[in-house]
Amino acid sequence: MGEFRTNDAEATIDELRRQYNELAELAGSLAHEIKNPLSVIHMNADLLCEELEESQWPGQRRAIAKVDMIRQQCNRLDNLLRDFLRFARMRDLEMTPGSLNDQIESVLLLYQAQADRSLIRLQKYLDPNLPNIKLHSDSLQAALLNLVKNALEAMPDGGELLVRTYTVPGGIAMDMIDTGCGMDEITAMRMFEPFYSTKHGGSGLGLPTARKIIEAHGGRIAVQSEVGRGTKFVLEFPTPIRLGV
């Protein structure tokens, strides 16, 4: 009887996984189908705006403003579809041995100029003896980019972003701590829910996608935050037994 229940549970899990894959594929196909007519709408809105600007006539400003609104909403939908496709496609990744420190260095370098303009000090304490992990470079960098971007946006008046790496039992960890505006308890609890966003025009898929990427690496992410004091993200990844440092 116990064996039957185990096999039955495994069959149920396989069926749920199959249904999820079918749904993700269908959602991705639908998003692609929406992108095509959306691109046409956006292109024609651009052309229409050019024609409206060619000569002066009564009501021109109101007409141009309405077309601009169409263009803005097209951009918003395009960004939403892009984020959704990235979220839906996150399945099995081809992992290779790599350095988390190198991924962090690359991401911080990309944001150094923006941090300087925003009077944000980037601090890093990366363990030089950190073991390698199995990773997919492009997707992991995308997750880190999202976290750094959110941290910088949380410090409009300047501040400090500290990133450090260290070993933990069975793996490695990374802390990302900012001195920004922080979050209330409800936001911190819901921030990884798809489509939940406190930003105007945000898709609500950035952080859920980041978590999905980290979990696809066998890792996990946790957050601690306090309004007015800042936010701390903690990422942990397992260390493969047969990989050297």
Task: Using pLDDT thresholds of 50, 70 and 90, give the confidence band for residue 18.
Answer: low
How is the beta sheet containing 220-226 ordered, strand by strand? 120-125, 159-168, 171-178, 230-238, 220-226
Q: What is the pLDDT of residues 132-187, one digit of tens each?
A: 999 988 889 888 988 999 999 999 999 999 999 999 998 999 999 999 988 888 87
Tell me the residue range of the domain where 81 lies: 2-89
- Do 151 and 67 belong to one domain? no
The pLDDT of residue 37 is 81
Rounded-to-integer distance, Cα 108 and Cα 91, Å: 26
Rounded-to-integer distance, Cα 209 and Cα 89, Å: 10
- Do 107 and 224 belong to one domain? yes
Rounded-to-integer distance, Cα 171 and Cα 222, Å: 16
- Do 69 and 107 belong to one domain? no
Angle at 120 between CA 114 and CA 126, to 5 degrees: 95
The pLDDT of residue 188 is 78
Angle at 166 between CA 114 and CA 237, to 5 degrees: 90
Is the pLDDT assigned to residue 130 strictly greater than 60?
A: yes
Phi, psi (degrees; rounded to nearest 5) at 79: -65, -40
- Reported pTM: 0.66
Domain with 48 in it: what CATH number? 1.10.287.130
The pLDDT of residue 83 is 64
- Do 72 and 148 belong to one domain? no
Number of domains into which the chain is organized: 2
Going by DSSP bridges, is the β-strand pair 171-178/230-238 parallel, antiparallel, or unpaired?
Answer: antiparallel
Q: Which of 71, 89, 107 is the last residue of a domain?
A: 89
- Residues 113 and 219 sit within 8 Å (Cβ to Cβ): no
Q: Roughly what angle, to the nearest 10 degrees, separates helices 137-153 and 206-216?
A: 140
- Do 57 and 105 belong to one domain? no
Going by DSSP bridges, is the β-strand pair 159-168/171-178 parallel, antiparallel, or unpaired?
Answer: antiparallel
Domain with 195 in it: what CATH number? 3.30.565.10
